[in-house]
């Protein structure tokens, strides 16, 4: 008597799996293609590593990914010197992409690796106010190093509360900085610390400039009101802000 229900359930599961599989294959072959011509050319000429190609296929925010890559291409074409840094690494997803795109650069990875602090959460409003000290705490420096992989001797982990850990970064200049720390305090402190150390032509990205992160938007607005550069808001999934430092 229970047999038909069992078969029906089995059939439904198989049907759902099949639908997902067909959609995946359809998107792969006929889905929208955001690939910029420079990337297409590099891919055809075999200049993109297998790991980067695989990571790019799986990464959901294609516009963010290609923008990272195009900026790194520009930086290399212009022969700009300086290290990469990311403030807000969590498990290393964006760090992995950036490292795969230029594995020869020193890359500073800064995070508490224990999530947000109470001090930083306190002044937050909007969606950020619903986060807690447990958010983004399920990671560790070892897990990040393992996940990012690649050129281990170029990855420099700075574990602790930012900006308290900047003493570990004396005399470092940056050519690319990704600030992805969600809240007002670390974003403001990150801009104040990194911008003066950014080489001319270098780029700072600030992820999540959108209504969900009111404190972060305030930090960006306050900081950019006092610099000569105009920030550019990208149409990627979470609205990244990009600042390219003027050359004079
Ligand atoms: C949204 S996550 C980063 C996501 C990451 N870039 C990725 O690709 O998955 C935000 C991170 O910022 C870190 N963070 C926030 N405030 C910080 C602070 N003051 N000092 C150090 N890390 C901080 C958190 O620990 C968290 O891991």
How many whole angstroms separate alpha carbon 78 and alpha carbon 72?
Answer: 10
The domain total for the chain is 2
Q: For residue range 41-50, what is the model confidence (pLDDT) as tens digits?
A: 999 999 999 9
pLDDT score of 28: 67
The owner of tokens 């995070």 is 111
Is 39 part of a structural domain of the chain?
A: no
pLDDT score of 108: 98
pLDDT score of 174: 98
Is 214 part of a structural domain of the chain?
A: yes
pLDDT score of 31: 65
Token pair of 75, please?
């930086």
Please tell me whether residues 19 and 118 are part of one structural domain: no
Residue 3 forms beta bridges with which residues? none
Is 188 part of a structural domain of the chain?
A: yes
Is 22 part of a structural domain of the chain?
A: yes
Please tell me whether residues 109 and 198 are part of one structural domain: yes
Nearest to 128 by CA among 211, 42, 12, 20: 211
161 in ligand 1 pocket by Cβ < 6 Å? Answer: yes
Mean pLDDT by 10 residues, the chain (248 residues): 76 91 76 88 98 96 98 98 98 98 98 98 95 97 97 97 95 98 98 98 98 97 98 97 95
Is 226 part of a structural domain of the chain?
A: yes
How many whole angstroms separate alpha carbon 107 and alpha carbon 237?
Answer: 25
Is 87 part of a structural domain of the chain?
A: yes
Please tell me whether residues 125 and 98 are part of one structural domain: yes
Please tell me whether residues 15 and 83 are part of one structural domain: no
Token pair of 32, please?
């929208």
Q: Is 243 helix (H, G, I), strand (E, B) or coil?
A: strand
Please tell me whether residues 213 and 115 are part of one structural domain: yes
Q: For residue range 190-218, what is the model confidence (pLDDT) as tens digits?
A: 999 999 999 999 999 999 999 999 999 99
The domain of 217 spans 45-244
Please tell me whether residues 118 and 51 are part of one structural domain: yes
pLDDT score of 3: 63
Please tell me whether residues 3 and 121 are part of one structural domain: no
186 in ligand 1 pocket by Cβ < 6 Å? Answer: yes
Name which residue sits closest to atom 25 of ligand 1, judged by CA: 115
Please tell me whether residues 128 and 18 are part of one structural domain: no
Given a contact cutoff of 8 angstroms between Cβ atoms, the answer to whether 47 and 100 are in contact is no
Is 141 part of a structural domain of the chain?
A: yes
In angstroms, how far apart are the furthest CA atoms of the chain?
A: 81
Probe residue for ligand 1, chosen from 109, 147, 181, 208 as the CB with the greatest number of ligand atoms within 8 Å: 181
């Amino acid at each position: 008597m229970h047999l038909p229900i069992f078969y029906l359930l089995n059939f439904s599961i198989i049907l759902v799996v099949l639908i997902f599989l067909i959609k995946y294959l359809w998107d792969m072959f006929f889905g929208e293609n955001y690939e910029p011509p420079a990337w297409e050319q590099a891919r055809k000429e075999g200049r993109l590593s297998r790991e980067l190609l695989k990571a790019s296929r799986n990464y959901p925010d294609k516009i963010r990914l290609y923008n990272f890559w195009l900026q790194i291409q520009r930086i290399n074409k212009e022969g700009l010197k300086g290290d990469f840094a990311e403030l807000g690494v969590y498990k290393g997803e964006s760090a992995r992409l950036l490292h795969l795109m230029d594995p020869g650069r020193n890359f500073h990875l800064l995070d508490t690796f224990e999530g947000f602090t109470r001090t930083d959460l306190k002044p937050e409003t909007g969606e950020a106010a619903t986060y807690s000290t447990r958010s983004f705490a399920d990671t560790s420096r070892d897990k990040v190093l393992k996940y990012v992989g690649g050129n281990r001797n170029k990855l420099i982990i700075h574990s602790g509360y930012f900006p308290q850990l900047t003493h570990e970064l004396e005399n470092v200049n940056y050519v690319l900085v990704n600030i992805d720390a969600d809240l007002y305090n670390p974003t403001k402190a990150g801009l104040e610390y990194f911008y003066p150390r950014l080489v001319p032509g270098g780029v700072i990205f600030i992820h999540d400039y959108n209504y969900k992160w009111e404190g972060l938007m305030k930090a960006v607005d306050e900081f950019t009101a006092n610099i000569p550069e105009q920030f550019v808001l990208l149409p990627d999934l979470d609205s990244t802000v990009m600042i390219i430092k003027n050359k004079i």
